[in-house]
Amino acid sequence: MINANQLAMGGIFNLPLETNIFRVQQGDESLRNMIIESYQPFIKKVVSKVCNRFIDQTMDEFSIGLVAFNEAINQYQKGQGSKFLTFADMVIRRRIIDFIRKETRQVRHIYLDQVNTDVENNTDESYVEQQAAIDYYEEKCRINERMEQISSYQELLLNYGITFDVLSHHCPKHADARENAKIAAKRLVEHPELVRFLKKKKQLPIKELLQFVACSRKTIERNRKYIIALALIYIGGFSALMSYIEPEMETAL
C-alpha cells in the first residue's frame, strides 16, 4: 500500500500531494481512493485531537472525518494560500465540531459557524463556543460510560446475591464505618489469594481478611456485602465508579 509519506513526497507518482489532488479533481477516482486510504492515520489523528479522546475506524466520528477529507479533496483550490493537509485539517475539524454541536443541540446557547469553503474570506469559529460544545460532548461520553459500567456492575453484583436495593440497606450508616469498609475492600484486592477465594466461593474470605485488618470479625461480618460490593469495583476495573472509593483514606483499620 502506498503510504502518506510516499504521496506527500511524490512517491511513485513523482508529484506533490497538491498536484495529485488536482488530478483527482479531474476524474482520477483510483488515485482518490489511494489518497484517502493512505491518509487514514492523518484523519484519525485530527478527529481524535478534536474529540480529545482516541478514535478508531469503527466510530461515527471517524466516518465523518473520512467524508470531510473527501470533501476537502473536492473543494481544494489552487492559489488559496495553504497546503492541502492544512485545508483538510480545517474541514475535518469543522465537520466534527458540527457533529458535536448536533449531539448537544439541547444546549441552546451553543452556535458554531458553518464551513466556508473560501479560506481567504473565512473566519474562525469562536473558541469559547467550540470549547463549550466539546466539553459538553466529553461530559456526555463520560455519562454514557458511567451508565454502561453501572449496568455491568449491577450484573456482576447479582452473581454474589447482591442487588442495589440490598446494598442500600447494608451500607454502614456512620462515616468511619464506611471508611473502614473501603479500606477492607482495598486490602482484599491487594492479595490475589483473597480475590481468588471471593471469585470462586462468591463469599467474603473473612478469616483470611482478618489477618490484614485491625477490626473485629463481627465488624467484617456485619459489613460483608458492602465490602464485597466495593471490592468488585476494583476487581471489575469500573473506573467510572472509582469516585465511590476515595483514593485517600485517613481512617486506618
Pair (125, 189) in one structural domain: no
* Runs of H (alpha helix) within the chain: 4-8, 17-25, 29-38, 40-51, 60-75, 84-103, 127-158, 164-170, 175-189, 192-201, 206-209, 217-222, 224-235
pTM of the entire predicted model: 0.48
Pair (135, 29) in one structural domain: yes
Pair (53, 178) in one structural domain: no
Copy the grid coordinates of residue 71: 470533501
Pair (106, 206) in one structural domain: no
Q: How many structural domains does the chain have? A: 2
Pair (167, 125) in one structural domain: no
State the residue range of the domain holding 19.
Answer: 4-141
* Average pLDDT, consecutive stretches of 10 residues, N- to C-terminus, the chain (253 residues): 48 73 91 93 91 84 93 84 85 87 56 41 53 67 78 89 85 84 92 94 93 88 92 86 56 36
Please check whether residue 136 lies inside any domain of the structure: yes
Pair (84, 196) in one structural domain: no
Pair (9, 134) in one structural domain: yes
Pair (115, 166) in one structural domain: no
pLDDT at 82: 73
